[in-house]
């Protein structure tokens, strides 16, 4: 990614809070991975697996941690947190054209709405009654906002976002295309073999600085609200059930499913493809690794895993065939342990 006006390494260091090693007047006009970088590009080492490219990279400079700086053959920006410095540097090369302020002529706006004059409402968007839209909100085309919703200042909705009624989104949020917030939860009662739908009367509350990925769904609460805390980041294709509470600063990777009424603490990390059963409580600071199934509450911070990693098919089939014998083996082992315990007691 290139930009029109090159920056000196000295200027970049000041902008991202890094220390310079090498020529401070080195000019940078782009950013690229080590293995594909060209002269003029800034590159980065954010993981040890990329160190092997340092010796041969054509980048003009590189962001590194202090442990990699001593072996770096090119000018460097030394950071205590290279990944964070990379994020700040990449932001300088981001190109987001600002849409025109105001309401597009094709948009439909309901009664009793309060829309800031600095907001941008895209083409063919539909806004229900009694909606509040804050300063500098950007709503892409074909968005649908239900009744009694609110969007905090600086929040961005990409095209084709849907908010049902009674959804409150905080400031500085980003919701990607295809996301649906406030749909009915999966709640039914059974009457003689027939499913009877339970009406969902709650809403959804989304805190400030939240990002919601493309095609993610967040269900409204049954009687109370579903709550997404501040600075939560949610990847694409995530399902959040009704009455779920997600604590601040939690990160949820793609294809995670969280069943209704689960409560997830602050600062948790939930790996992709994981599932969390309903009505559980997950303590703050819990890290659930990818594809894990969580069926019990977790009260202690730490790293938790379940499931089986991929193996060659022949080995997996042998292991799968043995699963059915595990219970019998456990019973036989218990018998042997009791026999050994009795013999040790006799010897004493």
pLDDT in tens, the chain (348 residues): 566 588 999 999 999 999 999 999 999 999 999 999 999 999 999 888 888 889 899 999 999 999 888 889 999 999 999 999 999 999 988 888 889 999 999 999 999 999 999 999 999 999 999 999 999 999 999 999 999 999 999 999 999 999 999 999 999 999 999 999 999 999 999 999 999 999 999 999 999 999 999 999 999 999 999 999 999 999 999 999 999 999 999 999 999 999 999 999 999 999 999 999 999 999 999 999 999 999 999 999 999 999 878 889 999 899 889 888 989 999 999 999 998 988 888 776
pLDDT for residue 93: 85
Catalytic residue among 104, 176, 242, 296: 242
pLDDT for residue 2: 62
CA atoms within 13 A on the CB side of 46: 11
Q: How far apart are CA 51 and CA 64, in angstroms?
A: 10
The C-alpha torsion from 235 through 200 and 138 to 12, rounded to 10°, is: -30
- pTM above threshold 0.75: yes
Q: How far apart are CA 22 and CA 71, in angstroms?
A: 12
| Inter-helix orientation angle 82-92/9-16, to 10° | 110
Which distant-in-sequence residues (6+ apart) come within 8 Å of 138 by Cβ?
Answer: 98, 99, 119, 120, 155, 156, 157
Start-end of H helices in the chain: 9-16, 66-69, 82-92, 313-323, 326-347
Q: Is 200 a catalytic residue?
A: no
End-to-end CA distance of the chain: 77
Please name the helix (run of DSSP H) or strand (run of DSSP E) that holds residue 29, with its range, or none: strand 27-31
* Residue 180, token pair as written in the block: 């649906």
Q: How far apart are CA 245 and CA 204, in angstroms?
A: 10
pLDDT for residue 3: 60
């Amino acid at each position: 990614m290139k930009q029109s006006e090159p920056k000196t390494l000295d200027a970049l260091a000041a902008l991202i809070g890094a220390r310079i090693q090498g020529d401070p007047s080195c000019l940078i006009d782009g950013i690229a991975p080590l293995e594909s970088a060209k002269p003029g590009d800034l590159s980065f080492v954010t993981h040890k697996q990329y160190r092997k490219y340092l010796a041969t990279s054509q980048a003009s400079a590189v962001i590194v941690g202090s442990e990699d700086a001593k072996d770096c053959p090119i000018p460097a920006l030394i950071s205590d947190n290279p990944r964070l410095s990379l994020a700040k540097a990449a932001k300088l090369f981001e190109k987001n054209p600002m849409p025109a302020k105001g309401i597009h002529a094709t948009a439909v706006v309901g009664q009793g709405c309060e829309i800031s004059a600095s907001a941008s409402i895209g083409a063919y968007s539909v806004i229900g009654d009694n909606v509040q839209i804050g300063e500098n909100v950007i709503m892409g085309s074909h968005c649908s906002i239900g009744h009694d919703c609110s969007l905090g200042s600086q929040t961005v909705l990409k095209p084709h976002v849907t908010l049902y009624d009674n959804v409150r989104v905080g400031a500085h949020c980003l919701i990607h295309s295809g996301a649906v917030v406030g749909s009915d939860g999966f709640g039914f009662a059974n009457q003689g073999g027939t499913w009877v739908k339970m009406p969902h009367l709650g809403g959804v509350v989304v805190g400030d600085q939240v990002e919601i990925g493309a095609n993610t769904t967040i269900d409204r609460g049954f009687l109370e609200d579903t709550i997404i805390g501040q600075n939560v980041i949610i990847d694409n294709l995530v399902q959040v059930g009704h009455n779920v509470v997600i604590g601040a600063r939690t990160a949820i990777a793609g294809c995670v499913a969280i069943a209704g009424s689960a409560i997830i603490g602050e600062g948790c990390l939930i790996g992709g493809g994981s599932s969390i059963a309903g009505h559980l409580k997950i303590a703050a600071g819990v890290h659930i690794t990818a594809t894990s199934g969580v069926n019990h509450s977790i009260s202690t911070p730490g790293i938790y895993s379940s499931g089986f990693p991929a193996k060659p098919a022949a080995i997996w089939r042998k292991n799968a065939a043995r699963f059915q014998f595990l219970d019998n083996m456990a019973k036989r082992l218990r018998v042997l342990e009791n026999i050994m315990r009795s013999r040790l007691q006799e010897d004493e």
